[in-house]
A and B are shown apart, each in its own frame.
Chain A
Amino acid sequence: MTQVSMTVNGKAVSGDAEGRTLLVQFLRETLNLTGTHVGCDTSQCGACVVHVNGKAVKSCAIFAAEVEGAEVTTIEGMANADGSLSKVQQAFQDHHGLQCGFCTPGMVMSATALLGENPNPSEAEIRAYLEGNICRCTGYHNIVKSIMAAAGQDTSKIAAE
């Protein structure tokens, strides 16, 4: 066991981790931040996406020890300071961008990363960016619509569901 320290959602945290402790385990089991989900554990589904130093990564495919000293943001850190939902979160609610909600933390983290890189993405760019985020429920349509809405786009242009 070694001690790892990082900043999670703006707060300095530290805890014990083995070499093989994944970031997602550290978040969920050591910090009790269970908003980050494990869908596949084989790097395929994207339910576990968080931001490390501002970049989207699969927290099931990075060790806690590799994140030493880094800034991590999880779904728990997405809401605004007054507790209201972020633009992306609010758009998912308004446009029914989720059904069971299992994939949603990863979807919101990926969508937020996309809008950080590309504030006005096309529908095709949104779909391409979500290639690593799998949803078993929605058929993606309302997820794409939510992200377009979060970017301030007119969603009436995309086909009705």
Chain B
Amino acid sequence: MYAFDIERPTTIADAAKALSGEAQALGGGQTLIPTLKARLADPGTLVSLSGISEMQGVCMSDAGEVCIGGGTTHATVAAEATAYPALAETASHIGDPAVRNRGTIGGSLANNDPSACYPAAALASGATIITNAREIAADDYFQGMFTTALDEGEIITEVRFPVPEKANYQKFVQPASRFALVGVYVAKYADGVRVAVTGASEEGVFRWTEAEAALTSNFSAEALDGLSVSADGMIGDLHGSADYRAHLVKVMTGRAVSAAA
């Protein structure tokens, strides 16, 4: 690692100030620390967000959304997001227990790894990403692999999830990394079904709109029968070819629909 200083602000305002210079946010460090070890980042100063109590915890908004502080760990979401069981279940399968005790929802969404779980949950749920500067709809937030609408130094302070009637996340685990080889998150709302796919596309997380239309008129795995997913633009690597991933998208969507509760 290159040398850097660590600052530990206790308010969002102080963190934002600290991030206005040559500095980078440190969430749970579960992605950033390995990146620093590989000398792929040289931040000068790291601004740790873990001491900011206003960014911690799970609550309900007046509009009935589940609100999660940007610094909330996966373990806390798994234990406390009981009002949205599919989301809690998703968090409980991210990485392993030690990763879940440190990794945060803000860090995961800021990183937007193409195989990460929370981006699929946020996109399928039509979540709102709240920063120290503005509110961003999930549909506008994810802009391709490792790319988001966040500006330099912008902090995810909270994420709001409207609670669906039914939802489920199916993750086909890549056992070496424990990320999703392909993961599909299906959420059924009163006004329609949303399907978000992670791990598959070179463009990062995406909505499978044909499946959404079919499932909105008939919420059953059979509704997917006539659909096919093109392998164009799918990730192909030693863990699975583009064709294989395209096939998995449909299989995992079907499983998610059948398991949705």
Contacts and interface: CB of A to CB of B under 8 A. Distances in A.
Contact of B102 (A42, A61, A113, A114): A61
Contact of A20 (B1, B8, B97): B1
Interface residues of B, number: 26
Given A20-B36, A43-B33, A61-B34, A110 B6 contact: no
A94 B177 CA distance: 32
A76 interface: no
Contacts of A18: 3
A49 B95 CA distance: 14
A48 to B, nearest CB: 9
Interface in B1-52: 1-6, 8, 26, 29-30, 33-34, 36-37, 46, 48, 50
A63 B43 CA distance: 15
B101 A61 contact: no
Interface string A1-21: 000000000000000001110
B152 interface: no
Nearest to A66: B48
A65 interface: yes
Contact of B98 (A22, A42, A63, A110): A110
A112 to B, nearest CB: 12
Given A41-B37, A42-B34, A66-B50, A58 B98 contact: yes
A46 B30 CA distance: 13
Contacts of B214: none
Given A20-B36, A61-B33, A66-B50, A43 B99 contact: yes
A57 B96 contact: no
A129 B97 contact: yes
Given A41-B37, A43-B33, A131-B96, A63 B6 contact: yes
Contacts, number: 74
B247 interface: no
A65 B102 contact: no
A113 B100 CA distance: 13
A129 B96 CA distance: 7
A123 interface: no
Interface in A54-112: 55-58, 60-63, 65-66, 68, 110
A66 B178 contact: no
Contacts of A46: 96, 98
A129 B178 CA distance: 13
Given A20-B36, A61-B33, A61-B34, A132 B99 contact: yes
Given A18-B3, A42-B34, A57 B50 contact: no
B8 A65 contact: yes
Nearest to A106: B98
B8 A68 contact: yes
B33 to A, nearest CB: 5
A143 B6 CA distance: 38
Given A18-B3, A46-B96, A129-B97, A61 B29 contact: yes
B46 A19 contact: yes
Contacts of A42: 34, 37
B33 A19 contact: no
B178 A131 contact: yes
A129 B5 CA distance: 34
Given A46-B96, A61-B29, A61-B34, A55 B101 contact: yes
A106 B96 CA distance: 13
Interface in B52-109: 75, 95-99, 101-102
23 contacts: A19-B4, A20-B1, A20-B3, A20-B36, A42-B37, A55-B75, A55-B101, A57-B101, A58-B98, A58-B99, A61-B29, A61-B102, A62-B102, A65-B6, A65-B48, A66-B8, A66-B26, A66-B29, A66-B50, A110-B98, A131-B96, A132-B99, A133-B96
For the complex of A and B, the 3 pairs showing the least CB-CB separation, nearest first, are A132-B96, A131-B96, A19-B6
